[in-house]
Amino acid sequence: MLYHVIARGNNKQDIFLDGRDCERFLEILSTTTARFRVTGAGYCLMSNHVHALLVPHQHSLSRLMQQLNSTYCQWFNRRHGRVGHVLQGRFKSTLVDVDVYFLRALRYVLRNPVESGYVSHPAGWRWSSYHATVGATRPPPFLDLRPIWSALGAADGRSAREALDALLAPGTDEEVYQRCLILGSDAFARGLSGLLRQYRDTPEYVHAERFAARPPLREILEFADNVRLNSSMQRAFREFGYTLQEIGATAGCSGATVWTRIRKAEAGVPEPVARKPAIENRDLTPKPGGQISIFDL
């Protein structure tokens, strides 16, 4: 699985003060990726944050990033006579569909210096994977360029330059890149629904990101009977993060009614069984004398 990883400086502070900082970060990244069996497809080092396209093959990215951040932080503070955190909290990662979306993610990463106003073309930025991708420099050990060349229809870096420059060219139809949990098709997102479950209680991600792969309400709600409807409303609310108003709009009732049904499902309260009025089961045949006693009713 391909991830677009973003790590930022604590309080937006710079994490690279000169070229030696960038070199050391790439050295540590190469060491940690080798240890945790992670390969890379692209990267870009900015003054206060890092972009990297990474593919873990055995261990989770969390283990890699924990060691990377810790090692670089200690080195950076010793070199510059500082103390405290260098990188802020938890890194952010986006799952990327390895189809057309892979090239969109690569475009976003390599164009970051251009969009920030530092250079007019990605080739003008030294601290990215652009030069290695086009065969101008030797790639760092963790960088596997074969998937990029294949996606660009090239055999090597030199033959990939023209296609890569075309991909990175500015235009009026600039891609609007959403930095969220998933960059891919609806089918890709649905296939990852189980993996995203672990992020649903993570406040670092906004609501829309945490529930990026949730199914639509019409597929969750079950109208076969009241018990199933109550249970499915509970699932839509608790598991998939739909609001009471959203559930009510689909089910044709108010948010207050939805909440009542959810509480019943959580309390295990059975729905009452519908009964016919007792009067229908009574024998109302007139008694001798033509009178019906009040007690018969």
Reported as a single tens digit per residue, the pLDDT across 49-108 is 999 999 988 887 888 888 998 899 999 999 999 888 888 767 787 777 766 678 888 888
Rounded to the nearest 10 degrees, the angle between the axes of helix 226-238 and helix 255-267 is 100
Same domain, 160 and 229: no
Same domain, 122 and 235: no
Residue 200, domain member (yes or no): no
Residue 233 has a pLDDT of: 93
Same domain, 223 and 144: no
Residue 173 has a pLDDT of: 38
pTM for the full predicted model: 0.61
pLDDT bucket at 148, cuts 50 / 70 / 90: confident
Same domain, 137 and 219: no
Question: What percent of the chain has pLDDT above 90?
Answer: 36
Same domain, 34 and 107: yes
Residue 297 has a pLDDT of: 40
Average pLDDT, stretch 216-230? Answer: 89
| C-alpha torsion angle, residues 220, 224, 228, 230 (rounded to 10) | 80
Q: Is 87 helix (H, G, I), strand (E, B) or coil?
A: strand
Same domain, 233 and 93: no
pLDDT bucket at 44, cuts 50 / 70 / 90: very high
Q: CB of 46 within 8 A of CB of 146? A: no
- Please give the residue that has the higher pLDDT: either 288 or 26: 26
Query: What is the per-residue pLDDT across 167-205, written as a single tens digit (0 to 9) for each?
Result: 888 753 344 344 344 555 556 556 666 666 666 565 544
Residue 104 belongs to domain spanning: 2-168
Residue 286 has pLDDT above 60, yes or no: no
> How many domains, the chain?
2
**In the chain, what is the straight-line distance between the N-terminal and C-terminal CA atoms, in Å?**
72
